[in-house]
Amino acid sequence: MFCAMQLLLVEDDSAMRTTLQRTLMRRGLHVEVAADGPSALAHWQTREPDAVILDLSLPGLDGLQVLERARAQGLRTPVLILTARGTVGDRVLGLNAGADDYLAKPFDLDELEARLRALLRRSQESFTPKSATEAIQIGALRYEKESGAIYLNEKIFELTPRELAMMHALLARPGHAVAKERLFSLVFPGESDVQYEAVEVVAYRLRKKLAGSGLQLVTLRGLGYLIKAEVAA
């Protein structure tokens, strides 16, 4: 079942519009309707729904015009185009205009519901809070947090295990300095025979590898180390 999904149904055929509205509401959606392009766009702008079912053949403004104007205004609502136009060219036009899916008439109501579920799920996933799976980008450097991989200029950044451990620590909180003591515990865990200054050696090697990349590993006196993009002159 949908959880209070707000749907805008844009369909100029009154019989089709009424049938779809009743059927979808019985399946747990809240469905509002529009019968022409201008009213559809006005409704979309003032009460942005969770998803839009959009017919292409509309009076006033056709479906493609409605979609293009909505996208130009920054409306990112998922859109399922529903139309009797079944050619590949029409599908391409709709998708290029910003539609997320396309279903040609006649259609099965179970398939329509399944496609709406998929649209809503993808939309919710795209707006979930940032998680540990996101990538961190600093200049030409990208850190994939889930895999731990680090890329420089879209190529794997070749690092020793200790250099990699230091980079992970520096990139965990971009823009924040990491204390030398913490770096030592992360780069040399449990190695009591290693001199404290060994952190500086690893940092020196990282600086050499970052040279010319547009990135700097800087020492902030009393705070620790920080990685940042160089400021262009």
Residue 118, pLDDT above cutoff 90:
no
Residue 131, pLDDT above cutoff 60:
no
Complete domains list, the chain, with CATH: 6-126 (3.40.50.2300), 135-229 (1.10.10.10)
Strand partners, 119: none
Region 201-210: what's the mean pLDDT?
Answer: 93
Instruction: Round to whole Å and give the CA distance between 31 and 134.
Output: 34
Instruction: Round to whole Å and give the CA distance between 210 and 225.
Output: 14
> Strand, coil or helix: what is 142?
strand
Mean pLDDT, all residues of the chain: 83
pLDDT for 231 equals 64
Q: Which residue type does 88 have?
A: V
Sorted by sequence, the CB contacts under 8 Å of residue 42 that are 6+ apart come out as none
pLDDT for 120 equals 78
pLDDT for 129 equals 46
Sorted by sequence, the CB contacts under 8 Å of residue 27 that are 6+ apart come out as 1, 2, 113
pLDDT digits (tens, 9 = 90+) for 53-79: 999 889 999 888 999 888 888 888 899
Confidence of residue 117 (pLDDT cuts 50, 70, 90): confident
Top-confidence range, 5-9, 38-42, 91-95, 229-233: 38-42
Residue 15, pLDDT above cutoff 50:
yes
Region 10-28: what's the mean pLDDT?
Answer: 91
pLDDT digits (tens, 9 = 90+) for 166-190: 998 898 877 788 888 888 888 888 7
Strand partners, 152: 141, 155
Instruction: Round to whole Å and give the CA distance between 83 and 56.
Output: 6
pTM for this prediction: 0.53
